[in-house]
């Protein structure tokens, strides 16, 4: 068992206590994206035209039905489904504890179009990206010595939150990714090309200060995640930049995120927290995430102005 | 969630009969009759002649009291309602048990002593009433107030309103725990209302006189659950804002 954030992971099988985490050990279904050209045996999933909008790595097996209120009720049903299907492994990457990232050594398929950051023509995955891809069976991970790293190894690694993403944050990441959203670490450029070619576009990232971007440029990817770790020790943290599902997404011109996903420590945000978050995100909407008891909830605290009625 | 009008033609009716005009009529009726209320516990009691009673009903202030008085209709006003008629509309005078009329200052102190946080609740109430929203008690929805676009006979209340005060523990102490946020939003969903949080910034500690209200700032925010399952193609959370701007 791994104590991971405030939940306890357990690989003892579907019937164990606690919510079962969907991964290749506990059967649940994964739908191949049409982009991969493998679209067989979708099982009992509804195939609708919204599929066209799905990004890569879309899972339909979380039983997160559109009714967000009763979202927890059929986890067990889905976990016991025999119509499960996982991806054929398409990616290989090498994990480094030192950088807290995995360098992709063999990239096939299309997942990398919306996953990972590009630095000096190399592709790096963060720990949440690595874990998500292993969970859906799309990544083989090795360590420095070419020894294969298991899902369990990675659950242990994320449990201490040292690699820039906590277990709670990962759960939010997983939910959004499984619905086809494109999710990157807040303020970390997808690619350095844009920063080099167009300094103005830096501000369109939302909250990142210009000089940080320049630092990243010079120091390579090595220090990227450490840097943002340290930035996020205050009360409310900006964690992920989230883009709507978009098959035309380009890392070199990602545009503004649809919203920035924020986490608070323990309590709902105060007005002062919200104002601080909004200041840091300028014109990009803020959503606040609350993860507890295995459930991910997102909230908008939108400033409004009630009309003066006649 | 947009306004939910009660039946066809309700919206047109509301448009033809603006709430601001109704309140003005009530105001001049009360001034004309030199209306006096009695402060009774945390309420203000007042009797109205037939025509005025109708205006109370149309502007939706207070609850009618059923009694054997054949000539006049009695009403019971909440503290915010009474103070609004007194202090903001200057159309009601209020006497205590000694039958002596209280000036604004005395009434303010009196209401503060009866209800902790009265200044911020009153600011929230008057803020919405000044924008011509109809404001009613929200207790049965677990809120401080509910706000209607027009008379409740024409439209369902649109907002459940919680009043929050910046920097101190006054007001209601709500939404400080995630469980309360979930609970409140779930309830709002069930009764088809949008949660509106009014945060009052006092800009100073002095609330000895009602003149401090002029320094109070009101911040309006809606709190909504955002469903990633239902928002993949467009950001539906914007709907709330665009509605509010209508």
pLDDT at position A36: 40
Flag whether A50 is in a domain: no
Is the separation of the CB atoms in A175 and A296 below 8 Å? yes
pLDDT at position B142: 94
Residue A216 CA: distances (Å) to CA of A191, A224, A226, A281: 11, 6, 11, 20
Which residues in chain B are contacts of A52 at CB distance < 8 A?
none
For residue B50 the two structure tokens come to 């037939």
pLDDT at position A17: 52
Q: What is the DSSP letter of A23?
A: B
% chain B with pLDDT above 70 = 93
A243 and A290 housed in the same domain: yes
Q: A104 or A44: whose pLDDT is higher? A: A104
Q: Sheet containing B194-201: which strands, arranged edge to edge? A: A182-185, A236-243, A259-264, A286-292, A295-303, B217-226, B194-201, B159-165, B145-148, B134-137
Is the separation of the CB atoms in A5 and A168 below 8 Å? yes
pLDDT at position A107: 84
Flag whether A82 is in a domain: no
Q: Per DSSP, what are the bridge partners of residue A120?
A: none
Q: How far apart (Å, rounded) are the C-alpha atoms in residues A92 and A103?
A: 9
A153 and A118 housed in the same domain: yes
Domain end: A125, A144, A164, which one?
A164
For residue B216 the two structure tokens come to 């109070």
Known catalytic residues of B?
148, 156, 193
Flag whether A11 is in a domain: no
List the single residue in B with minimal CA-CA distance to A275.
B219
Say which CATH class B116-226 falls into: alpha beta
Binned at pLDDT 50, 70 and 90, residue A53 comes out as very low
Residue B150 CA: distances (Å) to CA of A304, B154, B188: 19, 7, 19
Please indicate if any CB of chain B lies within 8 Å of the CB of A73.
no
3-state DSSP assignment of residue A173: helix
A 10 A CB-CB count for A39 gives: 13
Q: What b/e readout covers B163-190, taking b as 16+ CB neighbours within 10 angstroms?
A: bbbbeeebbbebbeebeebbebbeebbe
A151 and A170 housed in the same domain: no
Lowest mean pLDDT among A6-10, A231-235, B242-246: B242-246
pLDDT at position A156: 95
Q: Which of A 247-276 lie inside 8 A of B, CB atoms?
A: 258-259, 267-268, 270-272, 274
pLDDT at position A150: 94
Nearest CB partner across the interface for A306, out of B133, B176, B234:
B133
- Tell me the CATH number at A154: 3.40.1170.20
Mean pLDDT of A55-60: 46
For residue B47 the two structure tokens come to 């009797």
Please indicate if any CB of chain B lies within 8 Å of the CB of A6.
no
pLDDT tens track for A147-181: 999 999 999 999 988 899 999 999 999 999 999 99
Vertex B165 angle, CA B146 and A236, to 5°: 105
Q: How far apart (Å, rounded) are the C-alpha atoms in residues B209 and A248?
A: 61
For residue A260 the two structure tokens come to 């920035």
A104 and A177 housed in the same domain: no
Given a cut of 80, whether residue A91 has pLDDT beyond it is yes
> Mind telling me how many Å the CA of B232 is from chain A's nearest CA?
6
pLDDT at position B231: 85
For residue B244 the two structure tokens come to 């509010």
Q: Which residue has the tokens 């946080």?
A: B117
Flag whether A271 is in a domain: yes
Lowest mean pLDDT among A81-90, B48-57, B94-103: A81-90
3-state DSSP assignment of residue A285: coil
Please indicate if any CB of chain B lies within 8 Å of the CB of A210.
no
pTM, two decimal places:
0.80
Lowest mean pLDDT among A126-130, A228-232, A293-297: A228-232
List the single residue in A with minimal CA-CA distance to B150.
A309
Flag whether A176 is in a domain: yes
pLDDT at position B205: 77
Flag whether A277 is in a domain: yes
Contact check, Cβ <8 Å, A53/B233 = yes
DSSP output for A226-271: HHHHHHTTSSEEEEEEEE---TT--TTS--S-SEEEEEESSSPPPH
pLDDT at position A198: 43
> Mind telling me how many Å the CA of A31 is from chain B's nearest CA?
16
List the single residue in A with minimal CA-CA distance to B232.
A244
For residue A191 the two structure tokens come to 């690619």
A181 and A257 housed in the same domain: yes
A181 and A271 housed in the same domain: yes
The size of the A-B interface in CB pairs under 8 A is 125
- Collect all residues with Cβ–Cβ distance below 8 Å to B108 and sequence separation of at least 6: B83, B87, B209, B210
For residue A62 the two structure tokens come to 């979380």
A178 and A285 housed in the same domain: yes
Contact check, Cβ <8 Å, B225/A306 = no
For residue A239 the two structure tokens come to 């964690």
pLDDT at position A30: 42
Given a cut of 60, whether residue B16 has pLDDT beyond it is yes
Binned at pLDDT 50, 70 and 90, residue B44 comes out as very high
> Mind telling me how many Å the CA of B185 is from chain A's nearest CA?
10
Q: A198 or B232: whose pLDDT is higher? A: B232
HSE-up of B235 (CA within 13 Å, CB side)? 21
Best of A6, A300, A305, A308 to substitute, by most chain B Cβ atoms within 10 angstroms, is A300
A179 and A247 housed in the same domain: yes
Mean pLDDT of B88-116: 94
Q: How far apart (Å, rounded) are the C-alpha atoms in residues A153 and B114?
A: 61
List the single residue in A with minimal CA-CA distance to B190.
A69
Flag whether A175 is in a domain: yes
Binned at pLDDT 50, 70 and 90, residue B170 comes out as low
- Tell me the CATH number at A246: 3.40.1350.150
Nearest CB partner across the interface for B225, out of A245, A299, A304:
A299
Instruction: Please give the helix or strand (H or E) that residue B122 lies within, else none.
Output: helix B118-130
Q: Count up the domains in chain A and report the number.
A: 2
Q: What is the CA radius of gyration of chain A?
A: 19
Torsion angle of alpha carbons A258, A292, B169, B122, nearest 10°? Answer: 50
Please indicate if any CB of chain B lies within 8 Å of the CB of A175.
yes
Q: How far apart (Å, rounded) are the C-alpha atoms in residues A206 and A257?
A: 8
Say which CATH class B12-115 falls into: alpha beta
Domain boundaries, chain B: 12-115, 116-226
Q: A193 or B51: whose pLDDT is higher? A: B51
Q: Which residues constitute the domain of residue A270?
A: 166-192+225-302
Flag whether A235 is in a domain: yes
Given a cut of 80, whether residue A210 has pLDDT beyond it is no
Binned at pLDDT 50, 70 and 90, residue B141 comes out as very high
User: Could you give the ipTM of this predicted complex?
Assistant: 0.89
A179 and A249 housed in the same domain: yes
Give me chain B's average pLDDT, please.
92
A113 and A183 housed in the same domain: no
Instruction: Please give the helix or strand (H or E) that residue A3 lies within, else none.
Output: strand A2-4
Mean pLDDT of A93-122: 92
Mean pLDDT of B129-147: 97
Which residues in chain A are contacts of B196 at CB distance < 8 A?
304, 306
Binned at pLDDT 50, 70 and 90, residue B206 comes out as confident
A95 and A148 housed in the same domain: yes
> Mind telling me how many Å the CA of B114 is from chain A's nearest CA?
28
Which of the listed ranges A89-103, A122-136, A200-214, B170-184 does the model predict with the highest average pLDDT? A122-136
Contact check, Cβ <8 Å, B222/A300 = yes
A 10 A CB-CB count for B230 gives: 12
pLDDT at position B70: 92
Q: Given its phi and psi angles, is residue B4 left (phi above 0), alpha (psi -120 to 50 degrees) or beta?
A: beta
């Amino acid at each position: 068992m791994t104590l991971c954030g405030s939940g306890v992971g357990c690989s003892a099988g579907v019937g164990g206590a606690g919510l079962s985490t969907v991964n290749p050990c506990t059967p649940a279904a994964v739908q191949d994206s049409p982009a991969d050209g493998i679209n067989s045996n979708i099982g009992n999933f509804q195939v609708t035209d919204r599929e066209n909008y799905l990004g890569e790595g879309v899972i339909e097996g979380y039983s997160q039905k559109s009714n967000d209120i009763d979202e927890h009720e059929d986890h067990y049903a889905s976990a016991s489904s025999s119509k499960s299907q996982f991806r054929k492994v398409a990616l290989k990457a090498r994990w480094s504890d030192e950088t807290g990232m995995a360098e992709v050594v063999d990239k096939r398929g299309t997942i990398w179009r919306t996953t990972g950051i590009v630095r000096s023509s190399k592709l790096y995955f963060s720990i949440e990206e690595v874990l998500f891809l292993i969970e859906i069976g799309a990544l083989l991970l090795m360590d420095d010595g070419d020894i294969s790293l298991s899902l369990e190894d990675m659950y242990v690694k994320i449990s201490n939150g040292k690699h820039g993403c906590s277990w709670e944050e990962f759960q939010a990441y997983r939910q959004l990714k499984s619905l086809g959203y494109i999710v990157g670490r807040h303020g970390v450029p997808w690619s350095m090309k844009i920063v080099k070619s167009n300094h103005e576009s830096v501000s369109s990232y939302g909250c990142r200060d210009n000089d940080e971007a320049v630092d990243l440029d010079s120091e390579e990817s090595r220090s990227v995640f450490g840097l943002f770790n340290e930035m996020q020790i205050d009360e409310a943290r900006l964690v992920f930049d989230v883009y709507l599902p978009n098959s035309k997404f380009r890392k070199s011109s990602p545009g503004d995120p649809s919203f920035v996903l924020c986490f608070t420590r323990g309590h709902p945000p105060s007005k002062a927290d919200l104002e601080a978050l909004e200041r840091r995100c300028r014109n990009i909407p803020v959503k606040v995430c609350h993860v507890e008891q295995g459930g991910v909830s997102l909230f908008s605290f939108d400033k409004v102005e009630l009309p003066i009625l006649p | 969630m947009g306004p939910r009008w009660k039946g066809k033609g309700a919206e047109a009716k509301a448009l033809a009969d603006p709430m601001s005009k109704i309140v003005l009529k009530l105001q001049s009726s009360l001034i004309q009759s030199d209306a006096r209320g009695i402060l009774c516990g945390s309420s203000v009691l007042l009797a109205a002649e037939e025509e005025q009673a109708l205006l109370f009903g149309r502007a939706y202030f207070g609850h009618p009291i059923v009694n054997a008085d054949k000539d006049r209709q009695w009403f019971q006003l909440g503290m915010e309602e009474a103070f609004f008629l007194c202090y903001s509309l200057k159309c009601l005078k209020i006497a205590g048990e000694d039958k002596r009329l209280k000036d604004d200052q005395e009434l303010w102190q009196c209401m503060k002593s009866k209800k902790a946080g009265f200044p911020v609740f009153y600011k929230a109430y008057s803020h919405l009433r000044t924008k011509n929203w109809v404001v009613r008690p929200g207790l049965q929805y677990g809120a401080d107030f509910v706000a209607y676009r027009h008379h409740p006979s024409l439209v369902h209340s649109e907002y459940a309103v919680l009043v929050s005060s910046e920097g101190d523990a006054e007001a209601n102490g709500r939404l400080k725990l995630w469980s309360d946020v979930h609970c409140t939003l779930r309830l709002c969903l069930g009764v088809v209302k949008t949660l509106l949080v009014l945060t009052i910034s006092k800009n100073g500690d002095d609330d000895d006189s009602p003149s401090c209200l002029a320094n109070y700032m009101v911040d309006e925010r809606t709190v909504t659950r955002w469903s990633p399952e239902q928002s993949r193609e467009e950001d539906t959370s914007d709907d709330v804002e665009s509605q509010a701007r209508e």
